[in-house]
Amino acid sequence: MSKQTFMPSFKTVEELQAHQLQGLKWSVRHAYQGSSFYRAQLEAAGVTPDDIRSLDDLKKLPLTTGDDLRDGYPFPFRAVPFEQIVRIHASSGTTGKRKILCYTQKDIDDWERFFARAYEMAGVTPLDRVQIAVGYGVWTAGVGFQAGVEKLGAMAVPVGPGNVDMHCEFLVDLQSTVLCCTASMGLLMAEEVHKRGIADKINLKKVIYGSERSSVSMRRKVSELFGGVELFDIPGMTELYGPGTGIECPDHDCIHYWGDYYILEILDPETLEPLPDGEWGEMVVTTLTKEAAPLIRYRTRDITRIIPGPCTCGSILPRHSRIRGRTDDMFKFRAVNIYPSSIDKILSEIPGLGSEYQIHLTRDPGGRDHMLLKVERGEGVEPGRADELGREIIYTAKHKLLVTPEVEVVEYGALPRTDRKSKRVFDTRITDSVV
Ligand code: ZN
């Protein structure tokens, strides 16, 4: 019997594109016929399902946004009768209404199958024990990670977030080989394992983490403290099924995404024009098989780029860079656009600094903006080096970002750790409410 695989059967880019065209035609027709929202959108743009004849015709379709999801609350983009809907999931939604997405049984089956593919690409096998440290409930995380493990045939250890004692206990007693978590929880667990002196009693080989950006130095730190584990960044968002819509390549320089389930475009976030492969811009997705809530040119706000050409790992699946930030994370400081990830990058290139930092933006009574970077010293780095490290951060920021921050180098462990997403940007410049 041949080994079970969740990889697609096609062998060439042409075969993938033929599959994508068929999926695009089906999705546009399905959305037009099943959803009053999409029908109105397409009619307003003067497009009918018959106008989709090539992948190039994707450009004719109108864009959709998170606001459209909120306007259609609680069942936005619904394109099937309620009797076919078997589940809903919701996003955490920090502003206004949550985003709720619905699923048919086929949507759930597809999600499980391609999540199993993500594990397969990361080299997880039925012999692995996968400890899950992400949230269960209405979130897509816990149930998604677990269903993928079971589909693959590995053993799921569903602990959920927090509960550090139980996580440490199971890492030792069950000899879990894979940990699935947020980047922050990964760091917290790595430090805990190190602190408790159990690094040589555990059997962890891989950490699969998602849902927030992570700096190079944070990755290095997590890998080291766990005794040399391999890290895999896994992308995902509630609108597009949930986590598992791709995974970091085993060669670790990109994310392979499932081009047989969705089409990815990169647009200039200002002009909304498509950008050539290789340029950074906003990721826009169109689903190819999603039934209950199809996405047509949905603006994700995530910033990434398509990496052209074949990958060294041999996979034919297309790829994008690790997510660099979100269009709405970007902040303006003295007329310069800054992504928190560029600060990540600068800090991770300065030896002697830890992986944790905060960006505080304030405005003085004279109306002048200030940026204070609070950065941890690396573990074991002498307190006396704080001034020298501070000067190096200011020098590098001036040259690479063209801004001059104030810097406070604090001791290792001084900034808060969390098992969820770490808040890094504290912007108090806007004092009146934003309506
Ligand atoms: Zn690859």
Domain extent listing, the chain: 1-326, 331-427
Residue 382 buriedness (CB in 10 A; 0-12 / 13-18 / 19+): exposed
Q: Which amino acid is at 305?
A: R
Distance 320 CA to ligand 1 centre (A): 10
Distance 317 CA to ligand 1 centre (A): 8
331's CB contacts (< 8 A; 6+ apart) are: 337, 338, 340, 361, 425, 427
Distance 316 CA to ligand 1 centre (A): 8
Q: Which amino acid is at 143?
A: V
**Taking all residues of the chain, what is their mean pLDDT, rounded to a whole number?**
91
Q: What CATH number was assigned to the domain covering residues 1-326?
A: 3.40.50.12780
301: region left, alpha or beta (phi > 0 left; psi from -120 to 50 alpha): left
Distance 307 CA to ligand 1 centre (A): 11
Looking at the whole model, is its pTM more than 0.85? no
Q: What is the per-residue pLDDT across 173-215, written as a single tens digit (0 to 9) for each?
A: 999 999 999 888 999 999 999 999 999 999 999 999 986 667 7
Tell me, which fold does domain 331-427 have in CATH?
Answer: GMP Synthetase; Chain A, domain 3 (3.30.300)
Two tokens, residue 98: 């949550």
Q: Is the pLDDT of residue 72 over 70?
A: yes
Distance 17 CA to ligand 1 centre (A): 19
Residue 434 — pLDDT band, cuts 50, 70, 90? Answer: very low
Q: Which amino acid is at 192?
A: E
Two tokens, residue 187: 């760091």
Query: What is residue 265's predicted lDDT score, i.e. its pLDDT?
Result: 98
325: region left, alpha or beta (phi > 0 left; psi from -120 to 50 alpha): left
116: closest CA among 263, 207, 9, 5? 5
Distance 251 CA to ligand 1 centre (A): 6
Distance 379 CA to ligand 1 centre (A): 33
Residues, CB within 5 angstroms of ligand 1 (ion): 249, 311, 313, 315
Distance 352 CA to ligand 1 centre (A): 32
| Residues 405/397, Cβ–Cβ less than 8 Å | yes
Distance 272 CA to ligand 1 centre (A): 29
Residue 435 — pLDDT band, cuts 50, 70, 90? Answer: very low
